[in-house]
Amino acid sequence: MDKTAFFTMTSGLYVVSAAAGDCKAGCVVNTAVQVTSSPARISVAVNKENFTAGVIADAGAFAVTVIDQTADMIYIGNFGFRTSANFDKFERYEERQTALGAPYVPEHATALFSCRLVETLDVGTHLLFIGEIEDAQRLSDEAPLTYDYYHKVLKGKTPPKASSYVE
């Protein structure tokens, strides 16, 4: 199998986040996709070992922000290379909350989706969360950060728990 074929699939980068009880979590994903329009729903694939997966399941709601091109590797590293299990990823940024109680960071985000969890599909290493959009907002006019830009301009890497990881 030529896994470089996957590199031709275009996507953006997102932060998916949730809060339940005392737990607050968020992680970078490239797997947020609009799946339907009416009602508007999106799916997001989150590794079962990512702390964020358990918090989304417990919360029954999550937020997705669309990362924009102003994002730097400190921001990506904060959400994409550390775990919320023992670290507050929201501490260094302004934190807001959706009406459904999900935390999100408006900085470096061009849009926000507030989602109610309506279905969870076990797809092996990852859980596919289907969220119904309760609210959507444009947060800035910045261009969205594409995965391609992340690789080519920011010289970013993909960690093992990402759906798109290639050994």
The first and second tokens of residue 139, run together, are 């947060």
Min CB(44)–ligand FMN separation in Å: 7
Nearer to ligand FMN among residue 107 and residue 147 (C-beta): 147
Question: CA angle 87-112-13, nearest 5°?
Answer: 65
Nearer to ligand FMN among residue 97 and residue 141 (C-beta): 97
Min CB(38)–ligand FMN separation in Å: 26
Bridge partners for 146 per DSSP: 12
Amino acid identity for residue 107 in this structure: E
Min CB(47)–ligand FMN separation in Å: 4
Nearer to ligand FMN among residue 41 and residue 126 (C-beta): 126
Min CB(51)–ligand FMN separation in Å: 4
Distance of CA 89 to the CA centre of its chain: 13
Query: Residues 117, 131: contact at Cβ < 8 Å?
Result: yes
Q: Which residues bind ligand FMN (CB under 6 A)?
A: 13, 25, 27-31, 45-47, 50-52, 76, 80-85, 126, 150, 156, 158-159, 161-163
Q: How far is CA 159 from CA 15, 76, 77, 162, in A?
A: 15, 11, 10, 6
Nearer to ligand FMN among residue 98 and residue 163 (C-beta): 163
